[in-house]
Structure 1
Amino acid sequence: MVLAAVRKQFDIISILLVSWITALGGGIVRDVMLGQVPPVGITDKGAVLATILSGLVVAVAHPEIDRMKWLLLVTDAMALGAFAVNGTAKALGLGSGGMTAMFLGMATALAGGLLRDVLLNQIPAVIQDKHWYAMPSLIGCFLTLVVVRCRERGFYTTEVEMLLELFVVALIVALRLLSVRFDIVIPGAVKRSKAHLPMSDEQIGAAIRHMLRGRSDLKVTISSKRSVHRRRGIKKDHHPSA
């Protein structure tokens, strides 16, 4: 978000640059890869002016905006969904294959934020955020592919296709917000140094529950190992004196 540039105390020109690259960077990457140059991100005057205006608003009202956590989250989720669907549909309309269109749709949705984080010298949010971020966009790109292909085969009209694409956007937004609201995260790697130790049925159940919740920092307590250490400590305390 542009707020990151404000927190780093960037000047106004840098804030506007971050605002522009965040909003339109994904579309620029998509258009360049599709050979559509110059890209929309520099030819669409309305889009460029909108990013400049939003950057100015954030630069002035950032204390109030920073307190609107859920509003920022909803806005970001809506942009994620709209860019994913639009990017996939545009790539398909220009003759790209299904997999290529999905990748370009995800690039449209995610590349702007990734470029922003690179400029700000921080870990990209798409990597750092354990909640569903790339996953909803991937699902949305796939569903957009299905919707467009079905319309091309005559199953329904263009108007119905537009309605279905709006539904896909809403689904992406819902998945993103539900992930944050209920702390649903994608599982990570299990630590091998602890995974190989013998566990009781209760410990196995706890491990499974942690994995289902997507916890990557699985910590298993081995009670038998602790009891051995305690017994050793007792023996040392009661060692006969000379």
Structure 2
Amino acid sequence: MTVTAFAALHRAGEPLLLPCAWDHASALALAGQGFHAVGTTSLGVAAAAGLPDGASATRDETLRLALTLGSAPFLLSVDAEDGFSDDPDEVGEFARELAAVGAVGINLEDALGPADRHAAKIAAVRAAAPGLFVNARTDTYWSGDGDPAETVRRLEVYREAGADGVFVPGLTDPARIAALAAHFDVPLNVLYSPAGPTLAHLADLGVRRVSLGSLLYRRALGAALEAATGIRAGRSPDGPTPTYDEVRTPDGP
């Protein structure tokens, strides 16, 4: 399994659906369901460690998870927040460490900071880990005002810096998605939203990667709460439940 194989999964008309894991068990369970590539969710990693997400606080935890998963039988892409530093060289070194343990992709978010600084991080990653698939994320829709022109401006800067793909979480408008997909010569990644277009519709719009982000982690928490409160109320939990041995086995369910 190579970086080239990961890039090849970003197909027009058949986008890569990237589920995001938060630990070894969740990653192996997803791979066991036929997902050839698995990402990580920064929220899940941070929450499991009792640390804030998006605050550059989980560098060690993220690298530790990558070390655990990098040799597993699937392609691993790591959510590295903003690279855990404003220093491009430090971000490049982190990317090199990820590649060394077997990761094939990295997701870097700009957090609406200066576009030139984010571009410098992307360039540093390309230099330090040339084979790593760099997914450059802008937060113009996630935490900004969703300005289409600013979105394109930022993504063009990141593409020029060497990004292999561009990511716009929070964007759900079909017309704007289609316009972005047509504008760029690299794969467009969007974040799946239960209230947004379906996977099939996103494929028709030209999207080549659909990430699940923290959705699975939050759904898992919801299922745990539903089971616990249901048992307290005298109800038996329903839905699929992996057995103890399935989770205990290193190869996963």
TM-score bracket for this pair, using the shorter chain length: under 0.3
TM-score by length of 2: 0.22
Higher helix share: 1
